[in-house]
Chain A
Amino acid sequence: MTRDLLRFATAGSVDDGKSTLVGRLLYDTKSVLADQIEAVQRASVDKGLSTPDLSLLVDGLRAEREQGITIDVAYRYFGTPKREFVLADTPGHVQYTRNTVTGASTAELAVLLVDARNGVVEQTRRHAAVLALLRVPRLVLAINKIDLVDYDEGVARAIEKDFDELARTLGFASDAVVTIPVSALAGDNVVERSERTPWYEGPTLLGHLESVPVTGPEVAAPFRMPVQYVIRPRKDELHDYRGYAGQVAAGTVAPGDEVVVLPGGARTTVAAVRTADGPLDSAAAGRSVTVLLDDDIDISRGDVLASAAEPPRVTDELDATLCWLAEKPLRPGARLLLKHGTRVTQVIVGAVGERLSLDSDVPLWEPAPEQLGINDIAHASLRTADPLPVDEYADIRATGSFLLIDPPTGNTLAAGLVGTPLAVAR
């Protein structure tokens, strides 16, 4: 039995029912077991509620239960006979950008909730822009609380039309977005088809999640693999063994492929692709492997093995988009650390360019602010101490992404995307 894995994220504003939707998905797929349900029932009775509050299934921290809000991203797991799911359940609260970026960075699909009574609101536009920026390949617009607008088709169609316009502006292809009217509270069209929306002919949310093609992590792109670790057994019978361990970040690799080692630039041929279970004919993006090469070249952690025919650009000057995630503001001239693939290097932030304004109906790039604050998204130029082999984030997520790290505290300050992955009006 082989089933694949879909990693997806939720997004949406506070009180639009994300936790309830996630609770409903878990509950109706029977992924919640009796002791967990009993705990929720007990806690619901304690709170004076007459029906179990499904959001209590997922709000795991003491402070979250006390305040009735979700504070931090949590990960949930469920499976059906067709597929396994990893769900990044993100809070919609004030720290929207930070949490949406965290959840969306590994997601192959995002479920964006809107409240049917309110339609597309400012927060929807912010979240959609961040999901587009992060290049989440597929989107579901879940029009929640459809029961509260009497299952009205006109309301749903109007919201769908509004959102479609926004999605087009942000660069989502029309077949990448699916709109589903749901009621997380009543269970309509989440796992079970609703008879109260006869005008809706599409799949249930779960049906869609089960059947949407899993977007492999850039299998079609040219080969990239950051070297994590050099495996040298130092045993007599394996005296000359030198394996380069890493996870294929993009494309595929096979014996006989010509590769280039970057940033150095040496070229060689792949002699073998191995795992602990033996040699492979080829390995695609996502797989952890050990690569053996024909020539004895000096290669260490931080180097990138790449397709010799289509290599990444090697540069120490980056134009990038930063999602600033920390309380501590970014000032031009800051000296920070940058983690790209398996390499950590020093970086100096040059000029901060335009900032993405999410306050109007469509996202706009506006003139540079003096410094970046938490949740700001802006262009910046960076100079790195070591040259880095990079791709545009829009082309390859894995080699186009990096972290900025605060040297004294070690905290992660920013998510970095090489280039300008969100092509919207200036």
Chain B
Amino acid sequence: MTATLPIAPASALDALDALESEAIHIFREVAGEFDRPVILFSGGKDSTLLVHLAVKAFAPAPVPFPLLHVDTGHNYPEVIDFRDRLVERLGLRLEVAHVQDWIDDGRLVERPDGTRNPLQTVPLLDTINEHRFDAVFGGGRRDEERARAKERIMSLRDSFGRWDPRKQRPELWNLYNGRHAPGEHVRVFPISNWTELDVWRYIQREGIELPSIYYAHQREVFRRDGMWLAEGPWGGPRGDEALVKKSVRYRTVGDGSCTGAVESTATTLDEVIAEVTASRLTERGATRADDRLSEAAMEDRKREGYF
């Protein structure tokens, strides 16, 4: 006995519409199944995209989640300004966890290299516990890094906030299983299936405003480990590292100590997209020093509870 498998006609959705619909579906699943979700927000392009998609998922009602910014204290002023304007314009609630508070009361110790990116994990987990957040949205994408390629869209974290890649739940169809015990939470990645170029094309299509540092501008930078870093309260430049003025832009927004700028003259979205298309480096390879620490730097941080 045999049956013939059906072949349905082509779907009309283009790639960006399909990705948008998937992300909106994920936001609505979480709103329907969890009590206290929160959106991690850094002011970067991916988390700004998340907020835009959340607005679209619940329109014309307001976004039913607050934002959480884990602030390393090593910020670009343009990003903080952008964050505050966005929150104001959309009428969102913003929680800020200042890494400095954890250093001041001794729960964290400043690292010798001055970078605070790895120090974000403890303030993040403490804040999740304190507010009893049960679903934490992040802008992580599987194309960013090999360990992130293994991440589920809804990913359980134990009561220590840890990720165990060998114990992930299978993710079948679009039936997401977000069940968790008290004290555990779920990380949710609505833009898992987007690439850096998808993000930029969508930002262009939707006219999404970003912090100005994503576009080429004149900035005083210095060279360290092959990256152009900006001066900042984290202790750069040191010794014989000389500041020079360059036309640069950022591909990611993170802690100032480890996020490099790229030389660029791209001042418009068209120019940025052309530059990203032609680039021979990934965004993390180009501009994130912390991923260069070891072969498995991201996996190790994620296991500890980093997003």
Say yes or no: is A152 at the interface (Cβ < 8 Å to chain B). no
Say yes or no: is B92 at the interface (Cβ < 8 Å to chain A). no
- A385-B247 Cα distance, complex, nearest whole Å: 64
A215 engages B8 (CB within 8 Å):
yes
Say yes or no: is B56 at the interface (Cβ < 8 Å to chain A). yes
Q: How far is the CB of B152 from chain A (nearest CB, A)?
A: 9
A172's partner among B1, B5, B281 (CB-CB below 8 A) is B5
Q: How far is the CB of B297 from chain A (nearest CB, A)?
A: 11
Nearest chain B residue, comparing its CB with the CB of A104: B172
Say yes or no: is A194 at the interface (Cβ < 8 Å to chain B). no
19 sampled A-B residue pairs with Cβ under 8 A: A2-B15, A60-B149, A61-B165, A62-B299, A63-B166, A72-B150, A76-B142, A77-B142, A137-B8, A216-B11, A229-B31, A231-B60, A247-B21, A277-B56, A342-B29, A398-B174, A401-B175, A402-B175, A415-B172
B5 engages A301 (CB within 8 Å):
no
Nearest chain B residue, comparing its CB with the CB of A172: B5
- Given the known interface contacts A410-B180, A412-B172, A415-B170, the answer about A218 and B15 at a Cβ–Cβ threshold of 8 Å is no
Say yes or no: is A313 at the interface (Cβ < 8 Å to chain B). no
New A-B contacts (17) at CB < 8 Å, excluding given A73-B150, A229-B58, A410-B180: A4-B18, A5-B14, A33-B280, A33-B285, A35-B281, A58-B146, A75-B142, A75-B149, A168-B2, A215-B10, A216-B11, A219-B9, A234-B61, A247-B25, A275-B56, A287-B13, A288-B22
- A138-B7 Cα distance, complex, nearest whole Å: 8
- Given the known interface contacts A403-B172, A405-B177, A410-B180, the answer about A423 and B150 at a Cβ–Cβ threshold of 8 Å is no
Q: How far is the CB of A288 from chain B (nearest CB, A)?
A: 4
Say yes or no: is B104 at the interface (Cβ < 8 Å to chain A). no
A171 engages B31 (CB within 8 Å):
no
Contacts of A325 in B (CB 8 A): 170
Interface 9-mer from B114-122, B192-200, B263-271: B192-200
Contacts of A288 in B (CB 8 A): 20-22, 24-25, 28, 57
A106 engages B174 (CB within 8 Å):
yes
Say yes or no: is A306 at the interface (Cβ < 8 Å to chain B). no
Q: How far is the CB of B175 from chain A (nearest CB, A)?
A: 5
For chain A, the bracket of interface size reads 35 or more
Say yes or no: is B93 at the interface (Cβ < 8 Å to chain A). no
Say yes or no: is B96 at the interface (Cβ < 8 Å to chain A). no
Q: How far is the CB of B50 from chain A (nearest CB, A)?
A: 15
B170 engages A412 (CB within 8 Å):
yes
A35 engages B166 (CB within 8 Å):
no
| Contact residues of A between 231 and 279, Cβ < 8 Å to B | 231-235, 238, 241, 245-247, 275-277
- Measuring CB to CB, which residues of chain A are less than 8 angstroms from any residue of chain B? 2-5, 33-36, 39, 43, 57-63, 65, 71-77, 79, 83-84, 86, 98-99, 101-102, 105-106, 132, 135, 137-138, 168-173, 175-176, 213-221, 228-229, 231-235, 238, 241, 245-247, 275-277, 284-288, 301, 325, 337, 339-342, 394, 397-398, 401-403, 405, 409-412, 415, 423-425
Say yes or no: is B239 at the interface (Cβ < 8 Å to chain A). no
Contacts of B12 in A (CB 8 A): 216, 219, 284
Contacts of B142 in A (CB 8 A): 74-77
- Given the known interface contacts A171-B4, A228-B32, the answer about A5 and B18 at a Cβ–Cβ threshold of 8 Å is yes
Q: How far is the CB of B48 from chain A (nearest CB, A)?
A: 16
Q: How far is the CB of B163 from chain A (nearest CB, A)?
A: 11
- Given the known interface contacts A35-B281, A138-B7, the answer about A171 and B177 at a Cβ–Cβ threshold of 8 Å is no
B285 engages A220 (CB within 8 Å):
no
Nearest chain A residue, comparing its CB with the CB of B156: A410
- A3-B143 Cα distance, complex, nearest whole Å: 19
Q: Mark contacts of B191-214 with chain A using CB atoms, 8 A cut-off: 1 yes-contact digit, 0 otherwise.
A: 011010110000000000000000
A5 engages B19 (CB within 8 Å):
yes
Q: How far is the CB of A50 from chain B (nearest CB, A)?
A: 20
